[in-house]
Amino acid sequence: MDSTAHPDPLSPLRRGLSEWRMALVAWRLLVLQVSHPVVAAGTAEHSTYRAHPWRRIEHTMGSGQRLVCADRDTLRREVARLNRAHKRITGTDEHGRAYSARDPATQAWVLITLYEAIVAMRELSGDPYTPRELAELYAEYRPICEAFGLPEGFLPSTAAEVPAYIDSVVRERLEFGEQARYLLYDMLREAPRPRRPRYLGPV
């Protein structure tokens, strides 16, 4: 395949990510990510999302589009950009635990939550993927995850392994801390009205 060729616009992953219903699970995705203690610590000390929440979300969505919907060269550049940006996100959290955004287990979790959001969107809409469709979706998404160069064993090998992986992380690793609490209870009340898309203002 030509490294500059664009992905199939009708591929399962691109179709799922481009659905407007993704907006309905976006907050769920953010809560799952920021409930991870490493993400929470990095967000608390290195992110500007409280001061500029909509700009931060817009940048995040733009990054996701470059990872999923662009050609391979754009994918490689975006992975390199993210790795450079995350290299500086290190420190010690409020409990005295060292953290790094380049931690492979944390990177794997953040990547898998995007796939899980697409699956959840369909399930919560009453139109779940079939096992075959899940296999196709994950087979398309996993090479994008692999572009980050994570060591073997951190990512589920197949779609069938994803639910057990998510359940394990939720039960054994996630924490309900200040960052998750803020997203769930305070952010939408305190955040300024978004300039775009304007229809989110009344919501």
pLDDT digits (tens, 9 = 90+) for 100-113: 999 999 999 999 99
43 assigned to some structural domain = yes
Mean pLDDT, residues 36-61: 76
Whether 45 maps to a domain, the answer reads: yes
Sorted by sequence, the CB contacts under 8 Å of residue 167 that are 6+ apart come out as: none
Beta bridge partners of 92: 98
Residue 130 maps to a domain: yes
Confidence at residue 4, expressed as pLDDT on a 0 to 100 scale: 42
Residue 123 lies in a domain: yes
Checking if the pLDDT of 1 tops 50, the result is no
Dihedral angle over CA of 18, 22, 23, 29, nearest 10: -130
Is residue 59 pLDDT above 80, yes or no? no
2 is a domain residue: no
Question: What is the distance between the alpha carbons of residues 190 and 18, in angstroms, rounded to a whole number?
Answer: 28
- When divided into structural domains, the chain yields a total of 1
Q: What pLDDT score does 38 carry? A: 95
Whether 3 is in a domain gets the answer: no
In a domain, 197, yes or no: no
**Amino acid letter for position 176:** F
Distance CA 145, CA 140 (A): 10
The answer to whether residue 196 sits within a structural domain is no
Between 15-29, 100-114, 131-145, 169-183, the lowest mean confidence (pLDDT) is in 15-29
Between these two residues, 202 and 30, which has the higher pLDDT value?
Answer: 30
Is the confidence at residue 86, as pLDDT, over 50? yes
What range does the domain containing 182 cover? Answer: 12-189
